[in-house]
Amino acid sequence: MDITLLVSIIVVVALLAVGGFFLVRTRRSVTPGKEETKPEVTGEPEEAAPEEDRERDAGTVGTPPAHAPPAEEAAPAPAEPAAPEIETPPPSAGRMVRLRARLARSQSSFGQGLLTLLSAKTLDEDTWEEIEDTLITADIGVTSATQIVENLRTRVKVLGTRDTEEVRGLLREELLNQIGADADRAVRTEPHSGRPAVIMVVGVNGTGKTTTTGKLARALVGDGRSVVLGAADTFRAAATEQLQTWGGRVGAPVVRKEEGADPASVAFDAVARGIEDGADTVIIDTAGRLHTKTGLMDELGKVKRVVEKKSQVDEVLLVLDATTGQNGLRQARVFAEVVNVTGIALTKLDGTAKGGIIVQVQRELGVPVKLVGLGEGPDDLAPFDPEVFVDAILG
Ligand SMILES: Nc1nc2c(ncn2[C@@H]2O[C@H](COP(=O)(O)OP(=O)(O)OP(=O)(O)O)[C@@H](O)[C@H]2O)c(=O)[nH]1
């Protein structure tokens, strides 16, 4: 082979090899760059293909690109928040019967204990003492417990029998006597002289005032009444919100002011609003206050006096927590001195077996228990019915 031809072939092969090498390098150097910028489904594309745009508009392509407006911006302006749905609460009649099972759950152990003791073969001194202790443990109070035992002893002796049904009947009568089956327990909610009835709700912190105010408003609305609520617990902002929620659910207007406002002025305005609206009942929720704090108790007296410049106060409901026992009694005494309590709302009776507090608090204050709270549900407040109560105790 000609040397020139051989050299030419070598040069051509060398050129081809070098060219091929650069071609491969260039490709390699482009590919990773593309990989860095190319979006994955959730990445950021340089420019979306029209098809992709349509898909994105339809919301079918993953996360939107960072430079694209967020979905919320693109979406039409949100509609006005829907007005809360006004509920139609059930009427108050027969509530305690409906809640009897709950009452039986919390109170019947005490009733069953009494019945077992009374049905014992021999009713000796020790057994009678045990009966008295059982009554005292249920917070019925020593005076009432002694009276019940004395009466039962006499009647059992006279009757000469201890048939279970008869014993049950005797105990039922004695308990009803102590509770007072004939007391006037109606909450004064009726409008009069062209004005709404005015109810003030008072008590120490956490007893359930706001909840009871809300539940009572619901029950009244359920009975076909119109109600205005006064959020005079200006001390605790959450209480106003809580009351607003209760009112909103049943369409009852709530008169409120900023946190720390003068509670007397809120109460006054609420009554004025009630009169203006021709409402049936105005219920004023007041701040929880310790009965031991003179300043706070004076303030409560002032709230009542200021309201009375506008209208008489028909009902002062003292809310007592049934689980606090003797302490509740002490609170009741002090409140009664300051604001002339006319009725008691005994809450949380579902959480204690000490239902006997009803007897004691009425005896101490001479004021009837008018309402009982039997749970946290919106309709778990009932007008107090002594017979249903005693029957729940005795099972
Ligand atoms: N189990 C039960 N809980 C109740 C009852 N009544 C109220 N409560 C609960 O008691 C707690 C306190 O109720 P509120 O109404 O906030 O008490 P308040 O007296 O207004 O409280 P302050 O404004 O702090 O004085 C809440 O968790 C209520 O749900 C009842 O009858 N049974």
DSSP string, 90-137: PPSTTHHHHTHHHHHHHHHHHHHHHHHHHTSS---HHHHHHHHHHHHH
Task: Please state the pTM of the whole predicted model.
Answer: 0.78
Q: Is the shortest distance between the CB of 369 and ligand 1 below 6 Å? A: no
DSSP state of 72: H
Residue 203, amino acid: G
Q: Is the shortest distance between the CB of 382 and ligand 1 below 6 Å? A: no
So what's the pLDDT on residue 160? Answer: 81
Q: Is the shortest distance between the CB of 232 and ligand 1 below 6 Å? A: no
> Is 203 marked as a binding-site residue?
yes
Residue 224 near residue 339, CB atoms below 8 Å: no
The 8 Å CB, 24+ separation contacts for 147-150 are 147/178, 148/174, 148/175, 148/178
Residue 100, amino acid: R
Where the chain has pLDDT below 50, the residues are 21-74
So what's the pLDDT on residue 73? Answer: 46
Q: Is the shortest distance between the CB of 196 and ligand 1 below 6 Å? A: no
So what's the pLDDT on residue 164? Answer: 81
Probe target for ligand 1 pocket from 286, 376, 379, 381, with the most ligand atoms within 8 Å of CB: 376
Q: How far apart are the CA of 212 and the centre of ligand 1, in A?
A: 8
Radius of gyration over every alpha carbon of the chain, rounded to an integer in angstroms: 38
User: What's the CA gap between 382 and 395, in Å, rounded?
Assistant: 19
Q: How far apart are the CA of 390 and the centre of ligand 1, in A?
A: 25
Q: Is the shortest distance between the CB of 376 and ligand 1 below 6 Å? A: yes
Q: How far apart are the CA of 241 and the centre of ligand 1, in A?
A: 14
For residue 203, the ligand 1 atom closest to its alpha carbon is 19
DSSP string, 19-58: HHHHHHHHHHHHHHHHHHHS--TTS--SS--HHHHHHHHT
Q: What tokens were used for 386?
A: 């002594």
Cα(first)–Cα(last) distance of the chain, in Å? Answer: 125
Q: Which residues contact 173 (CB under 8 A, 6 or more apart)?
A: none
- Nearest partner of 191 among 271, 249, 74, 114, judged by Cα: 271
So what's the pLDDT on residue 41? Answer: 27
For residue 236, the ligand 1 atom closest to its alpha carbon is 23
So what's the pLDDT on residue 84? Answer: 65
Q: Is the shortest distance between the CB of 211 and ligand 1 below 6 Å? A: yes
Q: What tokens were used for 175?
A: 């308990």
Residue 205's CB is within 10 A of a number of other CB atoms, namely: 13
Interface predicted TM-score (ipTM): 0.97
Q: Name the pairing type of β-strands 381-383 and 369-373.
A: antiparallel
For residue 374, the ligand 1 atom closest to its alpha carbon is 31
- Apex CA 108: angle with CA 386 and CA 383, to 5°? 30
Q: Which residues contact 88 (CB under 8 A, 6 or more apart)?
A: 222
Q: What tokens were used for 188?
A: 């004064």
Q: Is the shortest distance between the CB of 351 and ligand 1 below 6 Å? A: yes
The number of CA neighbours under 13 Å toward the Cβ of 159 is 16
> Is 294 marked as a binding-site residue?
no
Residue 124 near residue 258, CB atoms below 8 Å: no
Q: How far apart are the CA of 321 and the centre of ligand 1, in A?
A: 9
Q: Is the shortest distance between the CB of 96 and ligand 1 below 6 Å? A: no
Helices within the chain (DSSP H only): 3-37, 50-57, 71-74, 95-98, 100-118, 125-137, 142-159, 164-179, 209-222, 237-250, 263-277, 294-308, 326-339, 357-365, 386-394
Q: Going by CA atoms, what residue is nearest to atom 23 of ligand 1?
A: 288
So what's the pLDDT on residue 53? Answer: 34
Residue 172's CB is within 10 A of a number of other CB atoms, namely: 16
Strand order, beta sheet including 281-286: 254-255, 227-232, 281-286, 197-202, 315-321, 343-347, 369-373, 381-383
Provide the 3-class DSSP secondary structure of residue 147.
helix
Probe target for ligand 1 pocket from 99, 211, 216, with the most ligand atoms within 8 Å of CB: 211
> Is 336 marked as a binding-site residue?
no
For residue 214, the ligand 1 atom closest to its alpha carbon is 15
User: What's the CA gap between 133 and 118, in Å, rounded?
Assistant: 13
